[in-house]
Structure 1
Amino acid sequence: MNRYTTMRQLGDGTYGSVLMGKSNESGELVAIKRMKRKFYSWDECMNLREVKSLKKLNHANVIKLKEVIRENDHLYFIFEYMKENLYQLMKDRNKLFPESVIRNIMYQILQGLAFIHKHGFFHRDMKPENLLCMGPELVKIADFGLARELRSQPPYTDYVSTRWYRAPEVLLRSSVYSSPIDVWAVGSIMAELYMLRPLFPGTSEVDEIFKICQVLGTPKKSDWPEGYQLASSMNFRFPQCVPINLKTLIPNASNEAIQLMTEMLNWDPKKRPTASQPCFLVEVERPN
Structure 2
Amino acid sequence: MTTALPQTEYDPPKSSWWRRNQIGISPWLFLAPGILFFAFYVIFPIFQSFNVSFYDWDGLGDAEFVGVENYQELYWDDAFYTSLWNNLLWLVLYLLAIPGGLFIALFLNQTVTGIRLYKSLFFFPFVISQVVVGLVFTWFYDPTFGLLNSIIGTFGMGPINVLGDENYVTYGIILAGLWPQTAYCMILYLTGLNAVDPEQVEAARLDGAKGARMLWYVILPQLKPATFIAFVVTIIGALRSFDLISIMTNGGPFGESRVLSFYMFEVALSEYGFRMGYGAAIAVVLFLIMLIFIAYFLWSMYQEERTR
TM superposition score normalised by structure 1: 0.22
Structure number with the higher strand fraction is 1
TM superposition score normalised by structure 2: 0.21
Higher relative contact order (CA 8 A, sep 6+): 2
